[in-house]
Amino acid sequence: MIDKNFYLENLTAFDVLIGADRIEAEKAIFKVYCILQRDKYWLNNVATPEEIGEEDAELLEGVELELKELDQEHGFRFADFHELVMKEIETGGSGIAAIAEQDDDLLGFGDDDEDFDEEDEFEDDDDDEFEEDTSNKMGDFTDEELNLVVDYILNSAKKSFGYDQFAASFPDATMEFIDDQVLLYIIARKAYGEPDEEIAVTLAETFELNGFEIENEELLALTTKLGKDFSKEILAFGIAMDSLQQGTHPVDVVAHISNLI
């Protein structure tokens, strides 16, 4: 269950990035923090003694200690972040603890001991029909649940710059177009590391298809500016998408990122 390579790779990535690109470094280190909370919960509340490796507890303790040292050095405010997570676990409701009780598979803690009829046999050629990709658990949630996360990030972004003035510059555009196809698109693509030039090219095509004339250079400048204005939202989006794919409930994801934006 606990992936040692994940921690090694992301902590190494942080060390490489922190001197040159703090935003990308923060993405890596907060990803480590989110997965650490999941693994700690699994280790302490879900795993059976047979499932726990000899080095699992030692690994998580070492990672947590390293995060505390990095927090002191770089001011990531992990203590506030941790308090929010623990509050969700303790209060239950739609939090992590309640979700785990209702459906362990949601957090990736499924029970391997499923009941099968011993007489059931499957031909080798049919095995593929029963194989599913369970690495991305975002599909476990409804659109309404996922929109809780997206709307939270988008509303924060709209407060980070002159939204009303920007929207007024396109009087014929709908709010959905501005919010979803411009602002949210920039946040999402920046979170996944797409260059500003490529984002601007796609935006130019989107604007043209919707009947708006705007120069590519202007869109490039806009993308660069909003990338700076939305730095916290871009970081939060990356963390949120990773957490959702790992199976963290959208309500808990909002709680996790609420201290970032």
Q: What local confidence, expressed as pLDDT, does residue 40 receive?
A: 81
> Does residue 145 fall inside a structural domain?
yes
Residues 163 and 71 in one domain: no
- List of E strands, the chain: none
Query: Residue 10 pLDDT > 50, yes or no?
Result: yes
| DSSP codes joined into one string, 105-152 | GGGT---S-----TT----GGGGGGG----S--GGGS-HHHHHHHHHH
The answer to whether position 192 is within a domain reads: yes
Same domain? For 204 and 251 the reply is: yes
Q: What is the C-alpha separation between 121 and 173, in angstroms, rounded?
A: 59
Q: Is the pLDDT of residue 122 over 80?
A: no
21 in any annotated domain? yes
Low-confidence winner among 52-56, 81-85, 134-138, 179-183 (lowest mean pLDDT): 81-85
Tokens coding 72: 């002191």
Q: Which residue has the higher pLDDT, 204 or 258?
A: 204
What band does 151 get if pLDDT is binned at 50, 70 and 90?
very high
162 and 232 belong to one structural domain: yes
Q: Is residue 122 part of a domain?
A: no
Could you tell me if residue 110 is inside a domain? Answer: no
Predicted pLDDT at 33: 84
Q: What confidence category does residue 135 fall into, taking pLDDT thresholds of 50, 70 and 90? A: low
**Residue 111's pLDDT is what?**
41
Whether residues 160 and 228 share a domain: the answer is yes
- Cβ neighbours of residue 143 under 8 Å, at least 6 residues apart? none
Q: What is the mean pLDDT of residues 250-255?
A: 88
**Residues 158 and 244 grouped into a single domain:** yes
Instruction: Report whether pLDDT(90) > 50.
Output: no
For residue 131, pLDDT beyond 70:
no
pLDDT of residue 97: 35
pLDDT for position 37: 78
Mark whether 198 and 145 lie in a shared domain.
Answer: yes
Judge whether residue 232 has pLDDT over 70.
yes
Q: Number of folded domains in the chain?
A: 2
The CB-based long-range contact list for 42-51 (8 Å cut-off, 24+ gap) reads 42/1, 42/2, 42/107, 42/108, 42/109, 43/2, 45/97, 45/100, 46/100, 46/104, 46/109, 47/1, 47/109, 51/1
Does residue 147 sit in the same domain as residue 253? yes
92 and 183 assigned to the same domain: no
Please report whether residue 228 resides in a domain: yes
Residue 239 or residue 115, greater confidence: 239
Residue in 49, 48, 55 with CA at minimum distance from that of residue 2:
55
Distance of alpha carbon 192 from alpha carbon 260, whole angstroms: 18
Residue owning tokens 């409930």:
249
User: Is residue 222 scored above 60 in pLDDT?
Assistant: yes
Residue 53 falls inside a structural domain: yes
Q: Tell the burial category of 88 from Cβ atoms under 10 Å away from its Cβ (0-12, 13-18, 19+).
A: buried
DSSP designation for 95: S
Residue 179 sits in the same domain as residue 241: yes
Average pLDDT, the chain: 78
Give the range of the structural domain holding residue 82, as residue numbers without chain letter: 4-99
pLDDT number for residue 208: 92
d(CA 132, CA 199): 33
Give the domain-ending residue among 72, 99, 126.
99
Q: Is residue 112 part of a domain?
A: no
Lowest mean pLDDT among 30-34, 180-184, 210-214: 30-34
Residue 234 has pLDDT above 80, yes or no: yes
Higher per-residue pLDDT: 60 or 44: 60
Query: Last residue of some domain: 36, 70, 99?
Result: 99
